[in-house]
Amino acid sequence: MRVAEGLLGLLLAWHVTQAADYQAGREAFLAGDWAAARAAWLAAAEAPEPEPLAELGLGVLYEHGLGVARSSAVALHWYRKAAEHGLPEAAYQVGLMFELGLGVAQDPWTAEWWYETALGETFCPGEIPDPLQRITRGP
């Protein structure tokens, strides 16, 4: 019983830390401190239980070259991870990148699959916000 309680406490501590890392990254992002945002989001994204919003934030940083070298390929990597963790905004971005050939070979069929994935997450086409909007308005 004590082992189970200890493990539960450890898991809760990881979750609280990852949420704090995401929030610290969001606050740094809103203040224009891209390096601090990247560091906090990277910690949350690489946690044992990754924070999808942190993965989305990393995608935004790399897509727009905010404090990092602009890289569509790295942005795609982080958007895909966030999409795989259930964020429709990220799935939409992955679809867009495949449609336009940003960081990946242009592939309309794969783009369509990702768009359908985004729409399958209970969003209507006009309701999927830009990842930047998701970060600035909060979870």
Higher pLDDT, 135 or 111: 111
Quickly name the fold that domain 2-137 has: 1.25.40
Closest CA to 38 of 54, 18, 15: 54
> Would you say residue 91 has pLDDT above 80?
yes
What does the pLDDT average to over 3-28?
61
What is the average pLDDT value for the chain, to the nearest integer?
82
Which pair of structure tokens corresponds to residue 77?
């990597």
Higher pLDDT, 10 or 55: 55
pLDDT score recorded for residue 1: 46
